[in-house]
Structure 1
Amino acid sequence: MVFGDGPDGGREATFNGLTRYPSEDNPWNGYIVIQAKFRQKPQNSQEDGEWALKQLKSELEDFANPKKRRRQPDYYIFATNVVLTPVQDKGTKDKAYDIFQEFKDSVPLKGYDIWDYDKIRAFLDNFEDIRRANAVFITSGDVLSQIIDFIEPRKELFADQYTNPEDIEVLVQKVRSHFDKTIQNECETLCTFNLLYSPMQGNLSQIYVQTKLNESQQFSSEEFSQERRLWEEVVRKNPKLMVLGKPGAGKTTLLQYIAVHCDEVDFQSKLIPVFISLKTLAENAKSAAEISLIRYIRKKYCRSHVSKQELEVLLDNGRLLFLLDGLDEVTEDKVRDVSKEIHRLVDEYSDNRFIVSCRKEHQAYKFKAFGNFTLCKVADFEQLQIEEFIKNLFTESNDSTQLSKITLASDLIKKLKLPENQRIRELADTPLLLHLICLIFQERGDLPAKKVEIYKEGIDLLLEKWNQFNDRVQVNMAEFRKALRRIAIITFEDSKSSFEEEEILPYIENCSSKLSEIEVLSGLLVKKTWKTYTFSHQTFQEYLMAEELVNSQQGWRKLLIHVTEPRWHEVFIIAVEMLPNTDSFLRLFKQKFNNLINDYNNHWWSDESLNDRVGLENKQNLLSKKDYSDAYLIQKLLIQVHQKICNIKDYYT
């Protein structure tokens, strides 16, 4: 229902019922009010923002006033044509959300949103039909609309204009100019936590240490050369590359860096990089039929700036560099479909370049779809790389003088070389753990001894900084940590890497805090979209989940249920390292192992299974040798387990 001018009760429009907003997976269902505040002559962002805040507060005060007799909404959208500044805590956008918090008791909303100038502009970029329907309200809109109507039926003819190399180069430059903004927003910000509350924004290029790779041997994809090559050399030589590595090795960071610095590689022709999180691709698809990389690129990168036909021309001429991140993070029910989609794309547009990243212990990279990919793994940091990373990281932080930063970096480098810190030095060969080591050392001046202690102390520090820097709301850290553990285990068990704020609100009720503040100040969570969050590193989710399982009464039994599932392997290893005594765990593990053998054996000897494999005529002969076959099967299973251990022992020892 739409309302006109006049005393409309704080409503521009209302909707009552089930919607598809903010997403089909988490729809609003109830009485929704949309209120618009339009400023005819905007002044400047600060003055306009303060004006909008007063308007919002006035409207909520009227809803809270029983004398006004306004029907309170379940959901509320505040729309305005002015710019709300994004500065953390001090910006008018954060202040607007704070106003909603002020009225959370007097106007108890199930959900709310703010559509400011930037958000409305983004909506119009994505919804061409609405943009064009309202083109008449813009002075030049009529002309532009007519041009679009003229061009639309002739788009197919445009491909004919790209018949020589010069035309293709012009198209590449045009598309790069549109794609680069998305690439910068997606990749230039280092995907990590804050270092002692120093924001890590836009500093990937400053902190990044050049990655080295070990290529697979010519005659064995499972054996890797001892020679370490710079990523640029390996990427240039291999048009289809699978980058493997252990957790925190820097696989995502490498793909982000390649996306931003693609021009540094001496390819035969200029390429257009597209960075795609495969877990996001899979999460946005409700079924296998909806998993489409091209459709995803058109929506995320092209929008209305690059036509379908122009994208097709670039694909046909092999001018795209696909950077497909996190195959191992795709849920088990979709990973095969995602792999098939990559295979289809490689098969159809084989002249383009493809780089896929995956954890080495995950088996998805062995799918047939990647049979023609060259395997390589991210090499551990060498001493010079460790030192460079430490210097870059401390120099980039802004919490002390330049001299003290240099001294601090030098002290940590010396400390890591001491014999008593040999174990912690060995853990510093991955960027994630080295980053946590820097964080702990800068705060405490000392080093932990075990990997699991690095995670624990690093998370402890990130949470401690909350109360140190948040002068508005102090958080109960014990309750907050408990909430994070519950969020980690619930999302992980549901095979979800992200979650809506409403889903986990019950778990943070005792924390006296908004999820957006938790994201900004702890760095453990990051915001993906409006009201949608994810753990900043999958390792944090795995650690917190392991911590929850170890501290719960039935946690080990739950963990052992999933012991054969690749996605749970890292959780399993972290949990074992937390144990002060492994006796009871080993007894449970032995029991689980015996059950696996019995289940395997019972299935192998079942009538149906035997009939399928050997036929009725040979069944009696096999049954007469069952005692021998039992021993054979157990031996075979143990051999398989041994092979699995051999594949992972280099990482876990």
Structure 2
Amino acid sequence: MTDYNLAGLSTRSFEQLIQAIALKVVSSGVVVFGDGPDGGREATFNGLTHYPSEGNPWNGYIVIQAKFRQKPQNPQEDGEWALKQLKSELKDFANPIKGRRLPDYYIFATNVVLTPVQDKGSKDKAYDIFEEFKDSVPLKGYDIWDYDKIRGFLDNFEDIRRAYGFITPGDVLAKISDFIEPRKDLFADKYTNPEDIEVLVQKVRSHFHKTIQNECENLCTFNLLYYHMPGNLSQIYVQTTLNESQPFSSEEFSPERKLWEEVVVKNPKLMVLGKPGAGKTTLLQYIAVHCDDINFKPQPIPVFISLKTLAENAKSADEISLISYIRKKYCRRHVSEQELKILLDNGRLLFLLDGLDEVIEEKIKAVVREIHQLVDEYGDNRFILSCRKEYQAYKSRLFGNFNLCKVAEFEQLQIDNFIKNWFAGSNDGTQLSKEILANNLTHKLKLEENKRIRELADTPLLLHLICLIFIERGDLPTKKVKIFKKGIDILLEKWNQFNDRAYLDVYELKKTLRKIAAITFEQGISSFEEDEIFPLIKTNICRLSDIEFVSGILRKKNWQTYSFSHQIFQEYLAAEELVYSELIYSNLFTHITDKRWREVFLLAFSLIQQADEYLWIMKEKIDLLLNPEKELYIFLNWVYEKSLNITLNSVKARLFYISLYVDFFIDTDINKLSEFEIEE
């Protein structure tokens, strides 16, 4: 048999190779590889086959699992690795909690050599493992496709062999020769040693730098006072502290605060969690801009990617590709595909992937799978993801090799520094007057009468809006929703103050923004073209392009596309629209099981003066989905009754019970409610 360099494949291409063989020898109806419930990759078929022979065919549910070892060592170590993979998969099938469908037949495919020495070889040990699980995973038949068996398939199937020509020495030489001949000058003595790699890193970093600066240096959510403030990240940024997750737990975080740099440097794969406005995006932007100053070894090249934008730019989930997005956004004509591949292979990129929670439901699985494939194929690079803590996508097993941390709430010193930087960044007034304003706000926040608003000032976004309101009105709001309401009202008034074209009615302008927010949030998008959105909102207001509406609420992404600068602005304005237009009945309650609507729910209930009627309607909607005899129904009914019988601090307490009611229901799998018991 011919020798084939299977180790030269990637994980993905090996899976595709096994799939191609399965389509030939098992059935043309084999379903392509996909992410299983536990992150495993498998191909499946259900029905009559012509395998292993026409006289003795398999007939039933078949699972073909591919396990690729990127750097085979020696037969003994490779065999032990393969046996461990096989045993782990069978354990998963045997575990009833996993809920995986048991196969009738099973094929284990791997690129490593399994030795056939009787009783001692890894192949016999693999058969022993099948016997070990015969009671918990009762298979009618099984087979092992190791390196030797795959070689036999490739010898027989010329079309597959040619399709995967890079594993046959003759074809690979011919293809390389054909490819290099017209490009001799490009490949002459380039990137053959570490020094050459460093030269490439510096070259690519310089080309990426402009894109990073444009994307990350200006904080659009801080650039709200037009001539007042440049919105420069480096000028206003306050050092973030992080709480690391406790060992063996994704729910509990250490009370110890650590500077972000310490956590980021020691964790090559990190998930940054936090509540809305906590500063997750700002942290990733700061890392992108100041990457050269961080003690990474070796120094990586940062690429900042908004996952929401990545998903929105793809017409379908199948088109989502991080590498293609990087080529288009960062490389352009300056960095070749070959150079990018060299950097990826050498682990010299830092992927800053922002806003996992902002990806719409229809595309989240594709985005998670794409990140997992990127980490799987180029695991030597660094990865930092951000996600709201309330969003559950980060708990996927596909992120099992990511360490978790949480953005810590601002402490008093951070609040003081933020206020100082904020007013110092303003170009309005003398240095002395700016210091006086900063000191006055700092003093007022510490007064007992402002305790509630001080408790809200624990995130950069809310603290920023507090500064904005204070510099304009000289007072402090008392509730979170009032911060958003007053802040947005000030922004719109400011637009009129500095607009020299036409005066616009602030009320009408805000109505327009509310409609845009509600429509786009319902559609699961943050970006839109005005030609698409204006026919839907049916307004007489001037077009966005005419008034050059680029503020802290909306920002212009290109010559005709706009977006909300922060998801919390979109959520708040959408909540206002649902409440004030009384669409809360028809729109809000239809999304009661959608986790993406959680913040809109809570903001809407905060805006409603008398929430009892809406809470009752919400309860009726939920009751239709529950079995009254089950304990979940009893529990939620208790929560509802508690919310109606609050006598002290009623608004705050009632909102607590409403949020408990919503959270408990949203985090429950609606398809399993009829089987739910509290003791589980």
TM norm structure 1: 0.68
1:324 aligned to 2:353?
Answer: yes
Which residue number corresponds to residue 482 of structure 1? 511
Structure-2 separation of matches of 1:159 and 1:286: 39
Change in CA separation of 1:557 and 1:341 when aligned onto 2, cut-off 3 Å = same
In the TM superposition, what is the alpha-carbon distance from 1:634 to its structure 2 partner? 3.9
Matched with 1:547 is: 576
The CA deviation at 1:517 is 2.9
Q: d(CA) in 1 for partners of 2:458 and 2:355?
A: 20
Alpha-carbon distance in structure 2 between the residues aligned to 1:360 and 1:280: 20
The 1:165/1:516 distance shift into structure 2, 3 A limit, reads: farther
Distance 2:231 2:582 in 1: 43
Which residue number in structure 1 is paired with residue 618 of structure 2? 589
Structure 2 counterpart of 1:89: none
Q: Partner of 1:181 in structure 2?
A: 210
- Residue 296 of structure 1: which of 322, 325, 334 is its match? 325
- From 542, 552, 557, give the equivalent of 1:512: 542
Where do 5+ consecutive residues of structure 2 fail to align?
A: 1-177, 641-656, 665-680
Residue 152 of structure 1 deviates from its aligned partner by 8.4
Cα shift readout 1:553-579 (whole Å, capped 9, x = no counterpart): 342342111111111000000011112
Aligned counterpart, 2:630: 631
**Aligned-partner Cα distance in 2 for 1:315–1:639:** 55
CA distance in 1, matches of 2:253, 2:658: 17
Matched, 1:248 2:265: no
Using the TM superposition, give the Cα deviation of residue 195 of structure 1 relative to its aligned residue in structure 2, in angstroms: 3.8
From 388, 393, 397, the equivalent of 1:359 is 388
Quick one: structure 1 residues 646 and 388, their matched pair in 2 at CA, closer, same or farther if it must change by over 3 Å? Answer: farther
Say whether 1:307 aligns with 2:307.
Answer: no
2:468 maps to 1:459: no
Whether the 8 Å CA contact 1:474–1:512 is kept in 2: the answer is no
Point out where structure 1 has 5 or more consecutive residues left out of the alignment: 1-148, 602-629
Equivalent AA in structure 1 for residue 488 of structure 2? I
Partner of 1:261: 290
Output aligned runs, 1:407-486, within 5 Å: 407-486=436-515
Q: Deviations over 1:82-123 (max 9, x none)?
A: xxxxxxxxxxxxxxxxxxxxxxxxxxxxxxxxxxxxxxxxxx
> What number of residue pairs does the alignment pair up?
470
- Tell me what 2:47 maps to: none
Find the aligned partners of 1:183 and 1:412 in 2 and give their Cα distance.
Answer: 34
CA-to-partner distance for each residue in 1:490-518, whole Å, 9 max, x for gaps? 11111111110112334474223544635
Alignment of 1:214 with 2:213, yes or no, is: no
CA drift at 1:469:
1.6
Q: How does 1:543-622 map to 2 (within 5 A)?
A: 543-598=572-627
Instruction: After TM superposition, give the deviation of residue 250 of structure 1 in Å.
Output: 0.6
**Which AA in structure 2 matches 1:289?**
D
Distance in 1, Cα, partners of 2:520 & 2:224:
26
Aligned pair in 2 of structure 1 residues 433, 316: CA closer, same or farther (>3 Å)?
A: same
Distance in 1, matches of 2:189 and 2:337, equals: 14
Deviations 1:428-452 (A, max 9, x none): 1100000000000001111010000
Q: Tell me whether 577-586 or 221-230 shows the greater mean CA deviation.
A: 577-586
CA–CA distance in 1 between the matches of 2:357 and 2:208? 26
Q: For 1:408 and 1:298, how far apart are their aligned partners in 2?
A: 46
Structure 2 contact 591–597 (Cα < 8 Å) conserved:
yes
**Residues 409/528 of structure 1: CA separation in 2 closer, same or farther (3 Å cut):** same
Contact persistence 2:501–2:547 (CA under 8 A) = no
- Report the 3-state secondary structure (helix = DSSP H, G, I; strand = E; otherwise coil) of the residue aligned with 2:503: coil
Q: Does 1:531 align with 2:560?
A: yes
Contact residue 279 and residue 329 of structure 1 kept, 8 A: yes
By how many angstroms is 1:391 displaced?
0.7
Shift of 1:639: 12
| In 2: Cα distance, 1:206 partner to 1:429 partner | 19
* Cα displacement (A) at 1:382: 0.6
The amino acid across from 1:171 in the alignment is L
Matches within 5 A, 1:634-649: 634=633, 645=660
Alignment of 1:34-49 (within 5 A): none
Displacement of 1:289? 2.4
How big is each residue's C-alpha offset from its partner over 1:147-197, in whole Å with a ceiling of 9 and x where there is no partner? xx9988337973963232111111101111101111111111113143433
Letter of the 1:207 counterpart: I
Give the AA of the match of 1:204: L
How do residues 34-433 of structure 1 correspond to structure 2 at under 5 angstroms?
153-154=182-183, 158=187, 161-198=190-227, 200-201=229-230, 203-433=232-462
Residue 368 of structure 1 aligns to which amino acid in structure 2? R
- The residue number in structure 1 matching 2:527 is 498
| 8 Å CA contact 1:291, 1:338 repeated in 2 | yes
Q: Is the 8 A contact 1:291 1:341 kept in 2?
A: yes
Relative to 1, partners in 2 of residues 1:519 and 1:591: Cα closer, same or farther, differing over 3 Å? same
- CA offsets per residue over residues 251-305 of structure 1, 9 Å max, x none? 1110000000112221121110000011111111112221111111111111111
| Local SS of the residue matching 2:361 | coil
- Which SS does the other structure have where 1:377 is aligned? strand
Q: 1:549: how far off? A: 0.8
The question of whether the paired residues in 2 share the 8 Å contact of 1:159 and 1:313 is answered with: no
CA RMSD of aligned residues (A): 2.6
Contact 1:183/1:275 (<8 A) preserved: yes
TM-score when scaled to structure 2? 0.66
Task: Tell me the SS of whatever aligns to 1:526.
Answer: strand
